[in-house]
Amino acid sequence: MSIIFVRVIKKQNIKTFFTIFLIFFYCIAFGQIVNYQSIVKGGIKVVGFSVAESAFSEENKIVDIPHEGQIKEAFLITYSPRPSDDFNFSYNYWINNQKVTISDKNFVSSVPLIFEPNPTLIQQGVKDYALYQVDITNFLNDFDQTLSFKQDIFSPPNVCPGCHVAGFAIIIVFETSNGNNVNFTQILNQNPESTAKELNFNLSNTIDTLYDIGLGIMSDRAGGGESDGLLISINNNLIGCLCQNDQPENISGVMGCFNYENGNLTGSCDDNADSLLRNSNGIMKLNSSHIENDSLHLKVEYSPNSNPINLLTPHNILLGYNLVYSTPCEPFEVVVPRDTTLCQGTSLSLQASGGQRYKWLPETGLSCYDCANPTFTADTTTFYSLQIFNNDSCSVIRTVRLFVEEPKTVSVQSTSASFCGGATGGVIMQANSFYPRYSVNGTLFPMGNNLQNLASGNYTVVGISTEGCPSFPLQVTVDSINNTVADFWRTPLEGAAPLNVSFVNKSEQASFYLWQVDSLFYQNIPNPYTFTEPGWHTITLYAWKYDTLCADTVSKTVFVRIPQIIPTAFTPNNDGDNDVWELPYIDVLYPENQVFVYNRWGNLLYTSQKGTYASNPWDGTFEGKPLPVGSYFYVIETNDPDFPKMNGQVSVIRK
């Protein structure tokens, strides 16, 4: 139920006036918003129709908009299906062959799909029905007396026609040089699915009762007869039921169309400017007979016999009201903030001008509510009605819509690992039309969801909306892979000194190399490499693609031989020269060697530990006592299956 109170004030002069007092709290608290109130020297034109359940085509509709003077402002009010959150929102009207895009930035209110006889509606991506407003002033010319209108269909053609497009209205405010001062107020329903809300017009401008006072209703999907529709009462007296659709028959719902100029209200479309709201007639003239105890009490409610299905689905929807009248208030120009989208948690300084006093409602989210320039702290989307008063306490009202973009979640479709030490990995984000680009660790990437050239590691990925607002951060890990394999061939594997060895690098997935031969390093190893020292030599190859920390290594050996030198005599006389029996390189050539020395009777005189002869050679003694001059017998066990043991005689000579 919607209720309008109008309070009358009598004045002692040649004109009679009454004033509609603003009780703004009720408009906000009970789901109504004063969308627009203005004073203009000129007139108002409202045209529209509802096509919710008709076979509406995409062909142009020609609408008459006869008027004089210059077009000051023009608005499109549309009630249409709203795509689901994951649907690519592409929803366009065409005004005079110019595209008017509808988006959530034009959103006013919505009707949920509680019950729908055709489940295909939801399956095809319809979230709910929504009320939108778009400024189309720049789409019209002052000399236009007609306009063409059509709408793109965003949902597939097999869905019910009412799922494609619903109602629309075009409001044109025009100025003339010698017309009446006209007050126009539009109230939109923020809860269109319910009319059981109290409404008080948010106005304070005096009405000149010598001229017509017009009231227009905007609704959608009217019912099917006197028992199904919206009941209209004034001062608790039923004056009619909006229970029939606009004509012709393929039009659904009731849109109150009218023209107001020079103080006269005339109907357009199929509406008549009389004193009744009935059937499909959506406009009426208010007069003194509707005034009782200085108040006008207008009530709009569902018929008690309305079809229950119609109450559950978007039927008999009250979209809003239009009130127009002449006023002694003079027009004045104001400047208000543009509708703006902010990121949650940010602030915006609002700038209004043109008035003496200001009133912002609702009283939430602003640093002040009676100033021209409050600061808005972005917490949640808020639609403000800003009432601006001039010197004589006349006022205008503008809607300031501040959309707060709350962060949404993003998800990963796939990741690809990065080659160790490089930046060859990537992340592909799940396609999300809300976030056309992303930042990675604070760096903004180009448009798209394919984030490449990432090194291995942990990243914070944030979606960035078209408004520059961030999503919730998402932690993503790019794994590391290392396909580098270090390898080389060498030939021969062994031989006598000097030994020339050739190398062939057989590494895979590598770009840089370092060679090590024993303790020497080479960027490019001499090839062939000449080994002169006997024994085992270790050759190591380090290979990597991007970073030495990711290097792979391989080591191989080469064995270089020289004949074992076995002296036949030595002189252990402590003169520092040839005092021990030296066997050069024996521990190198035969790492597991063991040396045994015997006397002529076969008694063991000396035994070395395996591979350590050079550190403890035989010094010609036995149990610490010098042995006499003479010949002794030795056996050298190589302990190498490729080299047999060696034996012979060695003489001890003392000088």
Digit-coded pLDDT (tens) for 283-310: 999 876 765 654 566 777 766 655 544 4
Give domain status of residue 494, yes or no. yes
Give the strand pairing for 317-326 and 181-189: antiparallel
Query: In 103-115, which positions are buried (b, 16+ CB within 10 angstroms) versus exposed (e)?
Result: ebebbbbbbebee
Number of domains in the chain: 5
Find out whether 324 and 184 touch, Cβ atoms under 8 Å.
Answer: yes
DSSP-assigned letters across all residues of 324-372: EEE-SPPP---B-PPPEEEETT-EEE---BS-SEEEEES-SSBS-SSSS
Residue 29 CB coordination number (10 Å):
12
Contacts of 383 (CB under 8 A, 6+ apart): 33, 108, 399, 400, 401, 402
Residue 310: enclosing H or E segment and its boundaries?
helix 308-312
| pLDDT given at position 69 | 79
- Cα 638 to Cα 642: distance, rounded to the nearest angstrom: 9
Give domain status of residue 150, yes or no. yes
Low-confidence ranges of the chain (pLDDT < 70): 1-32, 50-64, 66-67, 83-91, 111-127, 152-166, 190-204, 221-228, 247-253, 288, 290-297, 302-316
**115-127, pLDDT tens digit by residue?**
444 455 554 566 6
The phi, psi pair for 186, rounded to 5°, reads -120, 130
Q: Which of 452, 481, 510 is the last residue of a domain?
A: 481
| pLDDT given at position 564 | 84
CATH number of 557's domain:
2.60.40.10
| pLDDT given at position 48 | 81
Say yes or no: 66 and 151 in one domain. Answer: yes
Q: What is the pTM of this model?
A: 0.69
| pLDDT given at position 555 | 97
Give the strand pairing for 457-464 and 474-478: antiparallel
Say yes or no: 288 and 168 in one domain. Answer: yes
| pLDDT given at position 592 | 92
Place of tokens 């000399």: 143
| pLDDT given at position 195 | 47
| pLDDT given at position 563 | 82
Give domain status of residue 583, yes or no. yes
Domain that holds residue 541: 488-561
Say yes or no: 468 and 494 in one domain. Answer: no
Give domain status of residue 334, yes or no. no
The CA-CA-CA angle for residues 316, 322, 323, to 5°, reads 135
CATH number of 452's domain:
2.60.40
Say yes or no: 292 and 420 in one domain. Answer: no
